[in-house]
Structure 1
Amino acid sequence: MSLVGKEIEPFKAEAYHAGKDEFITVTDEDLKGKWSIVVFYPADFTFVCPTELEDVQNHYETFKELGAEVYSVSTDTHFVHKAWHDHSDAISKLEYIMIGDPSQTISRNFDVLDEELGLAQRGTFLIDPDGVVQAAEINADGIGRDASVLVRKLKAAQYVRENPGEACPAKWEEGSETLAPSLDLVGKI
């Protein structure tokens, strides 16, 4: 069942705030009141994961300029996140919040938990300021994600929210034409 259009479920977890080099508590309420991007990944000290998280960091300033905060989540603890940050060239660049989910609650809430392995799948969720999921993507373990695609999705979601009755077509970029779905367009695109 898709989470798109549904409000996120309650959670409370410990996290490592890489940009501030401190441990913090994060709840579902922290993801509300602004745009949030939640990036699940299988595990710290792995192979594809650091390439993805570094790519998200490379776009982090853009996400912040667009009013979004980024949260990465794995079933590791916040202590392991700190150790990984201290020992990985790619992860040491991160400035965003790394949530630990050893209870697997958040991974279950977002339906990305591989129950057999006890690890999160590569899930990406775009959450609006009301705490409602606007976009969701889940990739197989061997398929890394591209954060530039996430930037475009965030801009499109923000545009649609600010312009009710309009829709962003495929490959929409900021400033390009949108659609106003209506009876007049049926069969004409």
Structure 2
Amino acid sequence: MDRAVFLDRDGVINKDHGYVYQVDDFEYIEGVFDACLSLKAMGFKLAVVTNQSGIARGLYTEDDFHQLTEWMDWNFADKGVDLDGIYYCPHHETAGLGEYQCECECRKPKAGMFKTASQFLNLDLSSSVMVGDKRDDMLAAQTAGIPIRILVRTGKTVTEEAIAASTVVLDSIANVPDYLASLE
């Protein structure tokens, strides 16, 4: 079984401008490509796990999300980084419209996306890592049995609850490879 670094999208890979779904609004966090190259070199698979309640709220479509995701994936590939999986939740239990308003198992803080990724990518969650910018990322990883939960300061305002659920707080994804190397 392999180990993975799970990455939240908004606030970790790109700046969170709120419901980002267009290329023109997608701004990468400084150092994200170099960090991901380093993580791959360290033997980690990379999996994106992202809540996308903008779909549920009717702000953009799943097709919009897929188009942006394909563009993002190609950007990573152009930099020599192959993302191993991209998982998303289009639901919201209260603000969703139509079929998207439901209580699901995939929306963080639940662990459904991690479990799905684990099955498809043959991952050992107990040797994996989560990089996120909020409490729900940390709680989902904790529920999934991921022991190293890294909270970064490049997204949402860091709260005491998020800090309590994390293993460590770092400035950004750019600091993750050195932190993980220090543990080995």
TM-score, scaled to structure 2: 0.43
The structure with the greater share of residues assigned to strand is 1
TM-score, scaled to structure 1: 0.42
Higher CA-based Rg: 1
